[in-house]
Amino acid sequence: MAKMEVKTSLLDDMIGVGDMVLLEPLNEDSFINNLKKRFDHNEVYTYIGSVVISINPYRSLPIYTPEKVEEYRNRNFYELSPHIFALSDEAYRSLRDQDKDQCILITGESGAGKTEASKLVMSYVAAVCGKGAEVNQVKEQLLQSNPVLEAFGNAKTVRNDNSSRFGKYMDIEFDFKGDPLGGVISNYLLEKSRVVKQPRGERNFHIFYQILSGASEDFLCKLKLERDFSRYNYLGLDSAKVNGVDDAANFRTVRNAMQIVGFMDHETQSVFEVVAAVLKLGNIEFKPESRVNGLDESKIKDKNELKEICELTGIDQSVLERAFSFRTVEAKQEKVSTTLNVAQAYYARDALAKNLYSRLFSWLVTRINESIKAQTKVRKKVMGVLDIYGFEIFEDNSFEQFIINYCNEKLQQIFIELTLKEEQEEYIREGIEWTHIEYFNNAIICDLIENNQTGILAMLDEECLRPGTVTDDTFLEKLNQVCATHQHFESRMSKCSRFLNDTSLPHSCFRIQHYAGKVMYQVEGFVDKNNDLLYRDLSQAMWKASHSLIKALFPEGNPAKINLKRPPTAGSQFKASVATLMKNLQTKNPNYIRCIKPNDKKAAHVFNDALVCHQIRYLGLLENVRVRRAGYAFRQAYEPCLERYKMLCKQTWPHWKGPARAGVEVLFNELEIPEEEFSFGRSKIFIRNPRTLFKLEDLRKQRLEDLATLIEKIYRGWKCRTRFLLMKKSQIVIASWYRRYAQQKKYQKIKSSAIIVQSYIRGWKARKLLRELKHQKRCNEAATIIAAYWHGTQVRREYRKFFRANAGRKIYEFTLQRLMQKYFLEMKNKMPSLSPIDKNWPVRPYLFLDSTHKELKRIFHLWRCKKYRDQFTDQQKLIYEEKLEASELFKDKKALYPASVGQPFQGAYLEISKNPKYKKLKDAVDEKIIIAEVVNKINRANGKATSRIFLLTKNNVLLADQKSGNIKSEVPLGDVTKVSMSSQNDGFFAVHLKEGSGAAGKGDFLLSSDHLIEMATKLYRTTLSQTKQKLNIEISDEFLVQFRQDKVCVKFIQGSQKNGNIPTCKRKNNRLLEVAVP
C-alpha cells in the first residue's frame, strides 16, 4: 500500500509535525520535543508556515544530491517534506514567473549553519536556472566568490570552525528568463579586532594559516614569511591546527577561486603582500626611552621586521618608523607633534593592522563586485541572500555584540511586520475577514538604541566628539542620566530605585531587555571601538607607499586632500548600513531561514534541549507561530484539498464532476465539521484549528486502511480465481500429456519385446550357420596340412641324397640375407624428410638389427645436416653463429629471448651510408659499423628517456645525437667491463665502464632498445674478437649503475601501465630508479 500511494503533501509519512503551525498543544516543551524527534530521524528542516527552521546536523546527509534538486524543482512548497530546496524553489519561481524581487534572510547564532545554508540556496538556484556558456560563467563566478570571502572573512571560533566574522548580503540579478546576469555583494562590520587578538581556543582569519600552510617556499620567500606559526604574534598557537581542515588545500582552492572570479595575477600578488605585511606588523615591538625634556617616548626594538615590511609595501623605513613614534595633531593652521609612549605605539601598531586588513577586505568585496556585476543594462529581477550574524549573548559582551544585537532587533522588527503584512494580504486576496493580531512590537527597543536624540548610539557619538576627557565611565554616566527611566534599560547606577539593590549588575555595565532576552554589556572599549581612530601620520605613511594597492586603501593620507573633519564613527556607519539594508529588504518579498545549532560540541547526533530552547527564545520562533496561528492555522488550495480528502465522502469518491470548491463544500458538510472551524476563500480553504486538520488526517488514514483492505480483498479473490483457472487448465494439459506418455511407454515396451524375440531368433540362426562354416573350415585345413606333410615327406625322400653337413649354415645365411634385403628395401620407402629438426625414424623390425638401425639413423642425420649446411652463404653462417651465441647467453635467462629467435639480426637498422641526414656521422666514423640502432638513453635525474644513435664498430661503442648526428660519447671496447639487464620482458640494459678510464667520467650508460638481444650478442662477440676476453653479461632484476660519483640502484618491478605495455622508468629518490614492466 505504501508503494501505491504517491506523496502529495508534507503530511504524508510525517515524523512529528512538519509545520509548527499545526503543533498541538503549542508550548515551548512541545516545540522542542518536536524538533528533537525530527532531528533524531535526520529531518533537519521544519516549517513555520513559509519560514524554514534549519538544525545543523554537524555531518553530511544525502539530501542535497542532484536527484533531490530535481525532486523539489517546480513543486508546491507544501507538497514534499520540509527542505531548504523547497524555499529556494518557491523564491526562484516567484521571481521568474511572477516578476517579484525576492530576499532570503538567514539568521542564527555562530555555528548554526548560516553560511552553509546560503551556499545551498545559491547552489540550488544555479542548478535550476538556465544553461549556456555565458550563464555558466556567471554562475561559476557567483559561487566561487564564497571561498574568497570565507578565507578572508571567516575564522575558527569556540562555537564554529568556519564562523563568518562579517555580515554578507548578496543581490543576485536575473534577466526576464530567470538566467543569472551577475550580482552585488555588501558586507557589514568585519570583526577586525580579531586581527590583533583572538579569544582563547580561537584562530585568526583563515587566510593567514592558509598562506603559511599552502604557499610554496619560493612564494613565502617573496612574501618574507616563514612556515612556522609560532613566529607571528598575531596568530594564536593553541588552535593553529583544526581537525578536519586542510589549510594547504584550501589555499589552492582560494587561489583558483580568485582566478575564476577575475583577479589578475598582479592583483592576487598584491593582496597576499598586504596580508603578509599585516602578519609581520604584529612582530614589531617597542621599548621605552626618556627624552631630555622628561617626556616618555617609544623606540622599535628590532628594526629587521620593520625593514621587511617596508620592502613589501614600498614605504620609506624612516617615514614608517616616525609614524610609530610621533603623532601630529592639526587644528586650522597649526600643527603639533607629540611623542607616543609604548602603550600608544602598540595602540597605533594594532590600529594600523586592523585598518589595513579591514580596508583590504572591503577592497576585495568591491573588486569581486566589479567582476560579477551584470554587464547589460536591461531591467533585472533581484534575489537577495542575507547571511548575517545571529543574536549573541556571551559572558562578556562588548561593542561588537551591542551593534550585532541591534541589527538583529531591526531584522526581528521587519520580520514581524512583513509576516503580518503577508498574512493580511493573503486574507484580503482570499476575501477572508482580517482580525487584529496582538504581538510584541520591539520598536521601543530599536528606538532606545537608534533614536537620534536620546538613543544609545547617539549618546556614544556625542561622547566621542565632545572635547575634554572622554572615557567609558563618562559614557555610562550619560546613559544613566538619559535612559534611566526607560523600561528596557537597566544600570547599577541608574536613578530608578528598583535596580539599586541589583548586585548581579556590575558598576561598569548596563543591561538591555532585547526581544530575545536580557543582555549585559561591558562598557569597557565602547568609546575606542566606536572612534576606530587611526593616527593621520600612519595614513599619510601608507599613502606614500609605492605599493599601488596599499596607496589606494588610504586615500585620506594624500596631503593635497587633508580633511580636518573627524571621520564618521563605527556606530553611525553601521546604523546607516542597517537602515539601507532595511530599506532594501522592504522592497522585496521576504523568505526566512532560521538556523539553530543543536549543541556546543559540534558533534553529530547530540541535541541539547537547554541550548535549543535558548535559541528558540531569542529567535522568537514561538512568537512567529502564534502570529501565524492567530487567524487560520492551515490553508490549502481547493484542488489538492479535494484530491487528498475526497475518499471521505461517497459523493466525491472516486471522481468529482464539478468545481473543486463545490466538492470541498460537499465534503465538509458530509463530515459535519463546525462552520466556525473553517472558511472558504476565493481559491483556498482556511482551517482555523490544527485539531480539525488532524481529525481529517485521522479519518483519511482510517479510510485509506479500509480502502486498502477492500483492494486487498478484491485482489486476493482475483488472485485465487486466476490461480484456480490456471490450475484447472494445467490439470487438463497434464492429463492429456500423461495419457500420451503412458501410451508411448506401452508401445515402446511392446516394440522392445518384439525386437528382443527377433534378436534371439536371428542369433540362433547365425550361431547355427557359424558352427557349420567352422566345421567346414577345419575340414579344409586338416586336408591341407595332411597334403603338406605328405608332399614334404616325398620331397625329403627325393632330395635327401643332395644334403650335406653345412646345409643348415647356408640356409641360415640365406635367410639373413633375405631379411637384410627386405629391411633395406623397407627403409628406402620409410625414410624421413631432409629437415635436420625432423626426429622421426622408422621402427626397428628385428632385434638383431638394433645396432645397425641406430648407426644408420646417426649417419643419415649427419648426412642431411651436411646437405643443409651446404646451402648456406657465408653471411647466413655468421647469422646462425650469432643466433647460437645468443641462445647460449640468454636462453632460459631472459624473458625477451624467445621473441627474438624468429627475428633476423640485421645490424644496420639506420642505413647511415644511404641517409644524407647522417653524412656528418658517417664521415666521423672510419671503421666498419657492426650495428646502428636508435636507443633511449635514460636520464638519471628524472628517469625520462632521450633518443640517441648507438653505433658498434670493431673497436668502439659510440653514442650520437639523433637530430644533429654529433657524437656525444665514444668508448673503446676495452673499457667496457660488463653489461647488465633484467630477466624480464623489457629492453633496458646498462653498459658498465672501467673505473678510471677516460670514458667513465660521466659514469655508466643506462639504455633501452627494441633489439636488446641482438645488440648484447654482437657486443659480446665483437669484444671477444678484439680483446680475447669474454664480456660479462649479468642478468638480474636489481643492479647498480655508476652515475658520475653516485651509484644508483636500478630495480625492475611488475606493474600495470597507463600507456599500455611499454615499460616506464621513474626516479624514486637519489639512490633508486624503478622500472615498471608490464
Query: Which residues are known to be catalytic?
Result: 110-111, 115, 160, 163-164, 390, 392
Residue 343, CA atoms < 13 Å, CB-side half-sphere: 1
* 856, three cell numbers: 644408420
DSSP designation for 908: B
> Dihedral through CA 521, CA 524, CA 525, CA 526, nearest 10?
50
- Residues 185, 188, 194: CA angle, nearest 5 degrees: 120
Query: Long-range contacts for 26-30 (Cβ within 8 Å, ≥24 apart)?
Result: 26/622, 26/625, 26/626, 26/629, 28/613, 28/616, 28/622
- Exposed/middle/buried for residue 174 (C-beta within 10 Å: 0-12, 13-18, 19+): buried
Between strands 45-48 and 51-55, the pairing is: antiparallel
* Closest to 284 (Cα-Cα) out of 268, 263, 308, 302: 302
Q: Could you tell me where the beta strands, DSSP code E, fall in 258-333?
A: 286-290, 296-300, 326-331
Residues 6+ apart with CB under 8 A from 1003: 940, 993, 1041, 1042, 1043, 1044, 1046
* Closest to 388 (Cα-Cα) out of 120, 578, 194: 578
Number of H helices, E strands in the chain: 31, 31
Are 933 and 1011 spatial neighbours (Cβ–Cβ below 8 Å)?
yes
Residue type, 618: Y
Q: What is the 3-state secondary structure (H, E, C) of 315-360?
A: CCHHHHHHHHHEEEEEECCEEEEEECCHHHHHHHHHHHHHHHHHHH
C-alpha to C-alpha distance for 779 and 784, rounded to whole angstroms: 9
Phi and psi at residue 358, in whole multiples of 5°? Answer: -65, -40
Between strands 678-680 and 634-637, the pairing is: unpaired
Between strands 988-993 and 976-981, the pairing is: antiparallel
User: If you search the block for the grid coordinates 605328405, which residue do you land on?
Assistant: 790
Are 362 and 166 spatial neighbours (Cβ–Cβ below 8 Å)?
no
Between strands 102-107 and 381-387, the pairing is: parallel
3-class secondary structure, 767: helix
> Is cis: bond before 972, omega within 30 of 0?
no
Between strands 945-953 and 1072-1077, the pairing is: unpaired
C-alpha to C-alpha distance for 511 and 495, rounded to whole angstroms: 14
Residues 6+ apart with CB under 8 A from 94: 100, 102, 589
- Exposed/middle/buried for residue 376 (C-beta within 10 Å: 0-12, 13-18, 19+): exposed
C-alpha to C-alpha distance for 460 and 472, rounded to whole angstroms: 9
**Beta sheet of 167-174, edge-to-edge order:** 45-48, 51-55, 589-596, 102-107, 381-387, 167-174, 180-188
Are 557 and 544 spatial neighbours (Cβ–Cβ below 8 Å)?
yes
* 1035, three cell numbers: 642478468
> DSSP letters along 660-673, please?
HHHHHHHHHHHHT-
Q: How many CB atoms lie within 10 A of CB 647?
A: 17
